[in-house]
Amino acid sequence: MWLVFQTVDVREAWKAVVAVHGPWLAVGLTIFWLGICARILRWRCLLVNLADIKALQVADALIVGYAMNYLLPARLGEPFRAVYTRKRYGIDTIAVFGSIVIERLLDGLIAVLILLCGLVVASNAQASSDFTQFYVVAGVGLAVFVGVVAVLILLRRVNIASFKGPQWLSRTFGRFMYGFAALGRRDLAAVIIWTMLVWLLEISALWALLASLGMKMAFYQLLILIGVGALSTLVPTAPGYVGSLQLAFAAVMIAISLSPSIGVAAATLVQAAFYCSLIIVAILIIALRWLRAHEGIS
């Protein structure tokens, strides 16, 4: 946030937030929740290979887990989601975490590809902006995600029992790989299709939110913004990605010769409208369960 305050006019950003066009923001919020529904169905494609779980149960675990991601630092909502799923539905924690790793890897790879597509289109459009820093980000991101996928594929072929070591380590590794192996060939196409839909809705939701701020961006600029913004959320950061998301949006705006203050306003709206709405729904889910338990209803 200190870096953000050095580059933006906070009053200008606040004026943009206050002057937001409500109907467009409502459209963006609706699309955001359609994206959450797509994420729920994608995760169910992975979890049904681990246990018989219904879509509403997956929705419960995913929404509460995402809310904790926004409330806790360093993406601690991911292990929380795995523990929560075990406590609620009896699925092994480590196996569930393996399915979450699949999600994050797919999202990371798609975010990098979106960023690269935006950069390629920008170069073909002969944009005068300097995107060197974003090429570096895309290159590093691609290397990291491809490297992790390659390591996990190799580990699937390793017989951990043949190595001397603590039994708990062998058991934990086996449970994790069981969750990672939940993505079979039969389900791969469905998961990829849901992932593409998730990101199409993510792009559409951000476009509507920017429209609510009166911003008009070229398509390649929107791709760069969503790619950089998404990658900034995939690394351990503060709760709600406060600071890191503002900095990412401001950096993109500066690169494309637009006001960084509007970028900070857009990032803040993402957090205030999109993330807070999900937190509210998670609170309602937990409160409803508490009331049912208090009334003795199973």
pLDDT at 20 (0 to 100): 95
The C-alpha atoms of residue 83 and residue 85 are separated, in whole angstroms, by 5
The C-alpha atoms of residue 174 and residue 272 are separated, in whole angstroms, by 40
pLDDT at 191 (0 to 100): 92
Domains of the chain, by residue range, sit at 2-294
Terminal-to-terminal C-alpha distance of the chain: 45
Residues of the chain with pLDDT under 70: 126-128, 159-165, 168, 181-186, 296-298
The C-alpha atoms of residue 68 and residue 16 are separated, in whole angstroms, by 28
pLDDT at 273 (0 to 100): 96
pLDDT at 9 (0 to 100): 86
pLDDT at 161 (0 to 100): 56
Which element (helix H / strand E) includes 121? helix 93-124
pLDDT at 181 (0 to 100): 66
The C-alpha atoms of residue 114 and residue 230 are separated, in whole angstroms, by 10
pLDDT at 184 (0 to 100): 64
Q: CA neighbours within 13 Å on the CB side: how many for 140?
A: 10
Query: CA 71, 73, 75, 78 torsion: positive or negative?
Result: negative
Structure tokens at 84: 């929560």
pLDDT at 1 (0 to 100): 82
Q: How far is CA 115 from CA 98, 152, 207, 280, in A?
A: 26, 24, 15, 31
| Closest among 58, 68, 11 to 38, alpha carbons compared | 58
Chain centre to alpha carbon of residue 135: 21
pLDDT at 127 (0 to 100): 67
The C-alpha atoms of residue 178 and residue 95 are separated, in whole angstroms, by 6
The C-alpha atoms of residue 298 and residue 292 are separated, in whole angstroms, by 7
